[in-house]
Copies of this chain bind each other. A is one copy, B any other.
């Protein structure tokens, strides 16, 4: 595994702009190290970017993505904190299950649309 990635390497891999990566740094989602002023992204930053993109595809806001990422960094905190995290995890899971349900429903409706189209096309071929 490579030690570092440049910013443009990552913009190409994830098809995003440098502005976007700098914005995510401003937002505290990633924290690449520096050589002088130049950012050097470690594999762990790359993983974070993957998680960010996944969050974006699911329609989560930056704030929500930040929350999710924070959960991954579970600190070995005290009991109360751990309970809070477990609760937050359960909340997010509920949201995700809702989204999954929404997806299944939409997929089913699209299946119906396609079937209707195909049937219509079949009719047209018979009629001609």
Which A residues form the contact surface with B (CB < 8 A)? 54-60, 68, 71-72, 74, 76, 79, 82-83, 85-86, 89-90, 92-93, 96-100, 102-103, 105-107, 109-110, 113-114, 116-118, 120-121, 124
Contact = CB atoms under 8 A, between A and B. Distances in A.
B106 A74 contact: no
A60 B59 contact: yes
A54 B102 contact: yes
Contacts of A58: 58-59, 99, 102-103, 106
B57 A99 contact: yes
A82 B76 CA distance: 57
A100 B102 contact: no
Main secondary structure of the interface of A (DSSP, over half): helix
Contact of A89 (B89, B90, B97, B114): B114
B96 A107 contact: yes
A85 B98 CA distance: 27
A71 to B, nearest CB: 5
A106 to B, nearest CB: 6
7 contacts: A54-B106, A55-B106, A57-B99, A59-B59, A83-B121, A89-B113, A100-B103
A117 B105 contact: no
